């Protein structure tokens, strides 16, 4: 599906050419020169950091996005096989990998433009395409007989190294605060994060992300609030805005990965009572609004942990901010439902996109309601109905992603280290974080087991989130918490994952608070990942201490307590 499918219009367009922006008129965004500039005889100064759109003398009509790809010369590559990987990137990677974020101008415009003129971005894109093509071709059985896995890996590493070398050549420009050099570095950094996450090099990917956030700080695209917290500045320049949004989306999924334990967060929101969005014009509009609220929740959780650690009561304004976030989430759902209704009959891909945001909203609602009680695992008992709603929404989403009609035909037992389905993997956030959230925070056995089995029904990756790994971790958490508690109770795990929990399933006692783990921390170790470390906090000799509970060995395919 094209990016345009996800976007039906915007309140305020920021993506026009420089000339139209200066004139404060609506740009038709033709490529390489817009029609408005051409018809008025003006020189179109182009888009983003590459400028040079042209004038009426060089182009007699507006150009569509697909035509633009044909007009721009093919970028130089050191080997002829590079053209095949670039073609794969344009026809497969940049369409599939961004997920619901595909309509963003970073993926649909900026990244491709940069690859045509910047060696660092080009080689990073080739490395990303190689990783994506290798695994997807394996799953599809389409690997050419004359290309071995080792040759593709060498191609990946060769282009990765060339991208790093090209970035090094830009370093002298950093001292001069050359903005274009910063842009190229940041774009390449985003691609590096994607490459490492897809390769299972999670620690390296997070390091690239942190480096990118540091560069954003140097460019003053992050603003300090004097309270050790940092948040994104709103940028008028479209290139800045697109890059910042890409980092914000990656940071969001990493923050969700760290949600269950106390950690330092250098990039989060501060108390801001904004007017909730009353209308969405596109799916990206809904995502951006939900991202803002999730960042607010991260701030409240971090603030709550710090205060609770020092036995400091939350001030009134913090409670008021929590209530504002809760009300904003309620308004978000009303606005989202109205947007969905206005779209009328939609295809399966859009149904999945709508369903995904609804699932993430349900997760955010429970997180917002419990965020000021970070060390109290009993608070989640009050939100059983919310957990059930999330499971029901996930079942509907699962139905949209599969034409299978029976549980047996769609459920896959998944363990870390098994072959991942790259053809269904994305770099964007999907349903793995919400389902993992249910599995570790809801202590109603039937509900949390349903979340685990839904995770096991797919074998794909969503950025740092791997469905096999998180399902395996969730099962271990459940095993450690429940032990033999349900041994003599009527629990039945042999249910269809397409059938939601019933009232009878809820008659089984909820797991006692004394058995629940707190501050659960998961560390994905190795490059590629070869160990999964599971930690929690326990009180020993009157002091809270980080304790290693178990270690999963990918090669042995088993936990070692």
The answer to whether residues 160 and 60 belong to one domain is: no
Among candidate residues 98, 504, 99, 281, the one with its CA nearest the CA of residue 112: 98
User: In which band, very low, low, confident or very high, does the pLDDT at 116 lie, cut at 50, 70 and 90?
Assistant: confident
The answer to whether residues 52 and 141 belong to one domain is: no
For the ranges 88-102, 114-128, 246-260, 496-510, which has the lowest average pLDDT? 88-102
User: In which band, very low, low, confident or very high, does the pLDDT at 171 lie, cut at 50, 70 and 90?
Assistant: confident
Among candidate residues 239, 214, 215, 270, the one with its CA nearest the CA of residue 48: 239
Q: Is residue 202 part of a domain?
A: yes
**Phi, psi dihedrals of residue 540, rounded to the nearest 5°:** -125, 120
Instruction: Give pLDDT, residue 454.
Output: 96
pTM here? 0.82
Cross-sheet strand order for the sheet of 543-553: 521-526, 529-540, 543-553, 558-560
pLDDT at 84 over 60: yes
Q: Is residue 224 part of a domain?
A: yes
Q: Is residue 110 part of a domain?
A: yes
Tokens of 540: 């020993």
The answer to whether residues 96 and 244 belong to one domain is: yes
The answer to whether residues 129 and 49 belong to one domain is: no
Q: Where does a domain end: 267, 300, 329?
A: 267
Q: Where does a domain end: 223, 250, 267?
A: 267
Quote the domain boundaries for residue 25.
12-72
Q: Which residue has the higher pLDDT, 21 or 418?
A: 21
Among all chains, which residue has been given the structure tokens 């093509």?
A: 133
The DSSP secondary-structure symbol of 426 reads B
Helices (H), 141-201: 149-169, 171-174, 179-199
pLDDT tens, position by position, 145-157: 445 667 888 899 9
Q: Is residue 422 part of a domain?
A: no
Q: Is residue 523 part of a domain?
A: no
pLDDT at 234 over 60: no
pLDDT at 352 over 90: no
Instruction: Give pLDDT, residue 137.
Output: 56
Q: How far apart are CA 104 and CA 233, in angstroms?
A: 18
The answer to whether residues 100 and 182 belong to one domain is: yes
Q: Where does a domain end: 252, 267, 282?
A: 267
Instruction: Give pLDDT, residue 47.
Output: 57
pLDDT tens, position by position, 6-65: 333 444 445 677 778 777 788 877 655 677 776 665 667 665 544 444 443 333 333 333
How many domains does the chain contain in total? Answer: 2
pLDDT at 411 over 80: no
The answer to whether residues 198 and 218 belong to one domain is: yes
Q: How many residues does the chain have?
A: 561
Tokens of 169: 């050549």
pLDDT at 191 over 90: yes
pLDDT at 372 over 90: yes
- Cβ neighbors of 127 (< 8 A, separation 6 or more) are 156, 157, 159, 160, 163, 191, 195
Q: How far apart are CA 38 and CA 20, in angstroms?
A: 11
Using CB atoms within 10 Å of the CB of residue 390, give its burial: 0 to 12 exposed, 13 to 18 middle, 19+ buried: buried
The mean pLDDT of 462-478, rounded to a whole number, is 95
């Amino acid at each position: 599906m094209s990016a345009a499918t996800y976007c039906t219009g915007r309140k305020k367009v920021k993506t026009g050419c420089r000339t139209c922006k200066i004139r404060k008129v609506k740009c038709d965004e033709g490529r390489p020169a817009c029609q408005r500039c051409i018809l008025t005889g003006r020189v179109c100064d182009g888009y983003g950091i590459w400028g040079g759109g042209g004038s009426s003398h060089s182009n007699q009509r507006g150009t569509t996005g697909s035509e633009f790809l044909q007009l721009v010369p093919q970028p130089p590559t050191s080997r002829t096989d590079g053209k095949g990987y670039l073609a794969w990137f344009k026809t497969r990677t940049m369409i599939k990998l961004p997920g619901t974020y595909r309509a963003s101008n970073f993926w649909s415009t900026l990244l491709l433009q940069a690859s045509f003129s910047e060696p660092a971005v080009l080689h990073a894109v080739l490395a990303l395409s190689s990783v994506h093509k290798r695994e997807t071709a394996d799953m599809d059985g389409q690997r050419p007989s004359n290309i071995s896995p080792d040759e593709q890996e060498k191609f990946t590493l060769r282009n990765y190294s060339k991208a790093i070398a090209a970035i090094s050549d830009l370093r002298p420009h950093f001292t001069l605060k050359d903005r274009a050099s910063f842009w190229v570095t940041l774009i390449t950094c985003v691609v590096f994060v994607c490459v490492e996450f897809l390769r299972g090099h999670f620690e390296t990917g997070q390091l690239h992300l942190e480096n990118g956030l540091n560069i954003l700080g140097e460019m003053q695209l992050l603003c300090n609030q004097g309270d050790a917290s940092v948040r994104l500045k709103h940028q008028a320049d479209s290139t800045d805005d697109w890059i910042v949004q890409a980092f914000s989306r990656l940071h969001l999924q990493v923050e969700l990965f760290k949600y269950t334990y106390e950690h330092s967060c250098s990039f989060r929101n501060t108390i801001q009572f904004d007017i909730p969005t009353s209308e969405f014009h596109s799916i990206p509009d809904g995502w951006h609004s939900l991202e803002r609220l999730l960042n607010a929740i991260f701030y409240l959780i971090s603030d709550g942990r710090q205060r609770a650690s020092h036995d400091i009561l939350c001030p009134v304004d913090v409670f008021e901010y929590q209530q504002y976030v809760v009300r904003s989430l309620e308004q978000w759902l009303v606005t989202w439902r109205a947007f969905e209704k206005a779209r009328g009959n939609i295809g399966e891909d859009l149904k999945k996109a709508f369903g995904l945001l609804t699932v993430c909203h349900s997760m955010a609602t429970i997180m917002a309601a419990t965020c000021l009680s970070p060390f109290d695992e009993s608070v989640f008992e009050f939100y059983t109905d919310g957990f059930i709603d999330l499971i029901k929404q996930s079942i509907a989403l699962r139905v949209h992603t599969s034409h299978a009609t029976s549980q047996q035909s769609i459920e896959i037992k998944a363990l870390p280290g098994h072959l991942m389905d790259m053809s269904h993997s994305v770099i964007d956030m999907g349903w793995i974080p919400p389902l993992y959230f249910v599995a570790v925070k809801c202590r109603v056995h039937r509900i949390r087991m349903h979340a685990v089995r839904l995770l096991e029904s797919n074998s794909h990756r969503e950025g740092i989130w791997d469905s096999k790994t998180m399902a395996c971790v969730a099962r271990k958490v459940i095993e450690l918490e429940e032990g033999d508690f349900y041994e003599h109770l009527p629990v039945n795990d042999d249910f269809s994952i397409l059938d939601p929990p019933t009232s009878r399933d809820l008659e089984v006692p909820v797991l006692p608070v004394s058995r629940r783990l707190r501050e659960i921390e998961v560390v994905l170790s190795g490059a590629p990942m070869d160990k999964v470390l599971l930690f929690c906090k326990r009180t020993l000799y009157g002091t809270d201490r980080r304790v290693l509970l178990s270690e999963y060995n990918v090669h042995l395919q088993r936990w070692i307590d």
